[in-house]
Structure 1
Amino acid sequence: MKRRDEAPIWWGAPKKFTTENTDRKVSWLELFYDLVYVIAISRITHHLTGHFDLSTLVEYLYFFPLIFWGWLNGSLYHDLHGAEGLRTRLMTLWQMMIVAALVITLDSDPGKRVFNITIVLLIMQLYITYQWWSVGIYDKAHRRLNKPWTVIYLLSFILMVSTFFVQEFWMRILFFSALLLNYLPPFLLHWLRRSAARSLSLSSSMSERLGLFTIIIFGEVIVGVVNGMSALQDLSFPLWINFALSVSIVFALWWIFFTLVSDRDCKKGILYSSILEILYIPTLMALAIIGISFDQFFEAAINDTHHFEQLIRIFGICLGIFLAGITTMSFLLHYPTYSEKFRRQTRQILSIGLLSVIFITNSGRHLELMTYLALVLVVLLLMIAILNYRWYSLQAKRSEREQSAQSS
């Protein structure tokens, strides 16, 4: 008689999470899976662009972490348990369909919008709960570790069901409470099974996936610049200068982020990994709102002085949050022992850059857009130049020490 935890080869039982594959590359299925999240992020970002008010911002503050949570669970599942076979492909397909359905409901009839969104969220919540629970059918060792996920995700499901029976004010509180609960399981596992939790770390392939998700957001920022320019009828030479400065700022932010964060491994342990994943949320949300600012910068600078000053303030705050996010992430990343001094210098440079951006924003709200963008770009380029100088100086000194040690 076939045991319950066995499965046909064509079906493909989930890979055991204890299986190590240090050379694993991101699969085509994972890249295809990411495409639906490109659409989801694009939709909520463009919705905020068209309705930039407090109510829509609160909605954005909910949906962005929710979409990131869905993407993160699917990505971690594939990283830990993805296998060659029909089951992994079907699990990916179903989640893609759910996220696509969520995107559709965001623009549904206003009278039924909340109901439609809630139904899809309940399906998504229940499906992701099943996703983690079902691994225990095939892998007994996983059963003792997936309980925090199963129990807490079901509690979140119950909270979301209860939104049908309360007023709008309490509905939002329950939705945000359920969202916070969804990020709790790794911390609960760390508290309950500390020894097991310390052995679970963010893989290099998962770090690459986080980098790919970040690229999605950078793409939205570039779209913001392009849309902002496309909305103008008279494309004068100064506007093209603003365009060049804007794209250069985005490129500089990409340079800083991927140099300092995405090429580094996270410290070992599920606690460090989970905190790093959560830090991506405010960092990338700030980056996305920078894209929204670019979308409206060019026209507001010409036609609406008050709105332009508001955008400058929002842009500066979000740029500061983005740099602060990178600074905080550096505490969770592994650096070689010989570069500990460089890490401290990196934090100092990022902090000085952050303060410089805040100073320029507060004192330069009455500046022309070109002047403001040029000053911000100068700050970012100086940061890049100093960071590169410090790093290559460190590498040169290390190389000299190694050569002298070999010669002696």
Structure 2
Amino acid sequence: MTHGQPDSVDIGRADEAASGPQQPEASVYQEQKVSWLELFFDLIFVVAFDQLAKRLGQSPDTVSLLNFGLLFVAVWWAWAGNATFAARYGNESRTYRWGTLAQLVSLGMIALTLRGDLTDTGPAFALAYGANRVIQTALYVAVARRGQDVAAFAGRMALAFGAAAALWLVSAAFPGGSAAQIGLWCAALLLDVLAPVVTRNHSRHALPHEGHLPERVGLLQIIALGAIVTEIVGGSRQQELNANNLIPALAAIVTAVALWRLYFDQARSLPLLGARVDRQVEAMLAWLYGHLPFTLAVVVLGVGLGHGLSAAGTAESAADQRLVGASLALALLTLAFLRWNSLRVTGRFFADRSLPALLLGVGLAVGLLFIDLDTQGTHLAVAALTTLLALTSATDPVTRRLGRLEETVLQRLEAGDQPESVADALDQPPAARTDGTSP
């Protein structure tokens, strides 16, 4: 075992990153697995999500929701910066490893400041996050020095991240939670988030690895879904263990499992494959950015379900029901968007039944905002809805066809036969699967 990496794992693109710009036109495909260091990095977000969930659960009013959303976007983007860098330039280089270790320290400090009131922790959060952005900037500066082609994208990203880091550090001088400080945070995040979009035409030498990035993104969704179970257990501690409380808790766990199935039934690598073979960079960015509202919605859903259990039978249960309905609607809407995005990558029309089912589910989830149910009724309704949608997606022939298409393109890349487009691989049957299949 070397450098925090599992034994006998072929790390792809590390040599390419070290020797010069990647060539998307080449048909050579190499595997790139998630390293132990990346797994450790992602586990920090278990703490971050828990801190954010506790912050929201203490006072789920409008101001708290807005502050939660702002802090969540910042935390998610700190994760996305590391994940996309590793997927673009490899996860084995010494630069990446030392940079990630430094980011781990900054994220630990960020997590410490998430739960407190911004009037007290605002400056500390700004300094910790500014340090994280400085590290991210340094990583892109190091890459930009490798050559002119690489610098076209990495150099621009370094400029954007550096400017954002300066805004974060300057904001630490303002009173915590003040309008000036929050305004600087919003400007810095906007600069960060828009940088990959503005520079997308220069990213052909830095396309994320088609297997590595979906794996990292999937791991983060597992962490977010696990946060639902944490909130359920925490909420159940406030009540006696009887049927009236165990039934809604069981329904909430079923909801988490159904959402897991809904997400992982999708062809998650297809938009990245479209960027590689069809230059559909916009579809790839839409796929990545679409995970921000989904992850946020899952964490908020966990807060609503857990808080509903602890507040069962009280006046607060109505507010928890609205929180559950709104977050579930956002999660299902995002899943519908991700489904549509994968479908459009194929360039073909499919008689898909999962997409309209998800959109119908959004409408039913919104309906929870306008009907009066107790905690048990809310949890049972949500569990029934998500389970029906998961079964619809799992049995949809289009779901299986998209999965087979994704496998076909990946197999052709591994064989050194890159298709001219994703649609070009539609008519080629995939080889027999030798690895484990999805449940």
Scaled to the shorter chain, the TM-score interval is 0.7 to 0.9
Are 2:149 and 2:205, in contact at CA under 8 Å, matched by a contact in 1? Answer: no
Instruction: Encode CA deviations 1:225-252: one digit per residue, 9 max, x unaligned.
Output: 11111122x2212211111111111111
- Report the CA distance between 1:120 and its aligned residue: 1.4
Matched with 1:327 is 336
Indicate how the Cα distance of structure 1 residues 250 and 136 shifts in structure 2: closer, same or farther if over 3 A, else same. same
- Structure 1 residue 95: deviation in Å? 0.8
User: Do the aligned residues in 2 keep the contact of 1:327 with 1:351 (CA within 8 Å)?
Assistant: yes
**TM-superposition CA deviations, 1:179-223 (whole Å, max 9, x none):** 0110112211135x4xx5498355221011101011110010111
- Out of 355, 368, 380, the position equivalent to 2:386 is 380
Evaluate the alpha carbon distance shift between residue 46 and residue 247 of structure 1 in structure 2; reply closer, same or farther with a 3 A threshold: same
SS at match of 1:231: coil
Cα distance change, pair 261–291 in 1 and its aligned pair in 2 (3 A): farther
Q: Distance in 2 between matches of 1:109 and 1:322?
A: 27
Conserved? CA contact 2:123–2:171, under 8 Å: no
Match runs of 1:42-191 below 5 Å: 42-82=50-90, 84=92, 86-106=94-114, 113-164=121-172, 168-190=178-200
Change (3 A) 1:59 1:320: same
What is the distance in 2 between the residues matched to 1:161 and 1:114? 11
RMSD: 3.1
The one-letter amino acid paired with 2:166 is: I
For 2:378 and 2:52, the matched residues in 1 are separated by: 28
Between stretches 64-73 and 205-214, larger displacement belongs to: 64-73
Residue of structure 2 aligned with 1:270, choices 281, 289, 302: 281
Aligned sequence identity (%): 18
Hey, what's the Cα distance between the residues in 1 that align with 2:363 and 2:338? 18
Aligned with 1:33 (options 41, 56, 71): 41
Say if 1:24 and 1:205, in contact at 8 Å, map to a contact too.
yes
- The 3-state SS of whatever aligns with 1:333 is helix
Equivalent position amino acid for 1:289 in 2: V
Query: 1:287-309: per-residue Cα shift (whole Å, max 9, x none)?
Result: 1011001121123222x22x111
Amino acid across the alignment from 1:275: A
The one-letter code sitting in structure 2 at the alignment partner of 1:285 is: L
Q: How many pairs does the alignment contain? A: 380
User: Secondary structure, in 3 states, of the residue corresponding to 1:138?
Assistant: coil
Shift of 1:162: 4.0
Distance between the aligned counterparts of 1:384 and 1:106, measured in 2?
A: 33
Pairing of 1:352-363 with structure 2 (within 5 A): 352-363=360-371
The structure where helix makes up a greater share of residues is 1
Q: Are residue 221 (structure 1) and residue 228 (structure 2) matched?
A: yes
User: 8 Å contact 1:231–1:299 — kept in the other structure?
Assistant: yes
Instruction: Summarize the Cα distance change of 1:230–1:17 in structure 2 as closer, same or farther, 3 Å threshold.
Output: farther
Distance 1:84 1:299 in 2: 45
What displacement does 1:100 show?
0.7
The CA distance in 1 between the partners of 2:192 and 2:141, in whole Å, is 15
Query: Which has the higher mean CA deviation after the structures are superposed, 144-153 or 261-270?
Result: 261-270
Q: Which amino acid aligns with 2:260?
A: W
Cα distance in 2, alignment partners of residues 198 and 130 from structure 1: 19
Q: Under a length normalisation based on structure 1, what TM-score does the superposition of the two structures give? A: 0.83
Higher RCO (CA-CA < 8 Å; seq separation 6+) = 2
Does the 8 Å contact 1:342/1:390 carry over to 2?
Answer: no
* Offset at residue 165 of structure 1 (A): 5.9
| Structure 1 pair 118–27 and aligned structure 2 pair: CA distance change class (3 A) | same
Structure 2 runs not aligned, ≥5 long:
1-14, 405-426, 430-439
Q: What is the Cα deviation at residue 89 of structure 1? A: 2.3
Aligned 8 A contact 2:95 2:139 in 1:
no
CA–CA distance in structure 1, aligned partners of residues 399 and 169 of structure 2? 58
Superposed CA deviations along residues 66-88 of structure 1, whole A, max 9, x for unmatched, are: 11111111112222223545433
Within 2, Cα distance between the matches of 1:86 and 1:199? 18
* Greater Cα offset, 264-273 or 280-289: 264-273
User: Which stretch shows the higher mean deviation, 13-22 or 56-65?
Assistant: 13-22
Asked whether the equivalents of residues 22 and 204 of structure 1 are also in contact (C-alpha less than 8 Å), the reply is no
Q: TM (normalized to structure 2)?
A: 0.78
Q: In 1, Cα distance between the equivalents of 2:271 and 2:399?
A: 22
1:342–1:391 CA contact under 8 A, matched in 2: no
Q: Give how far 1:350 is off.
A: 0.6
Give per-residue Cα distances to partners, 1:293-336, cap 9 Å, x unaligned.
Answer: 1121123222x22x111111111111000000011112322589
Q: Between Structure 1 and Structure 2, whose CA radius of gyration is higher?
A: 1
Alignment partner of 2:355: what SS? helix
Contact 1:286 1:319 in 2 (8 A): yes
Question: 1:326–1:252: structure 2 CA closer, same or farther, 3 Å change rule?
Answer: same
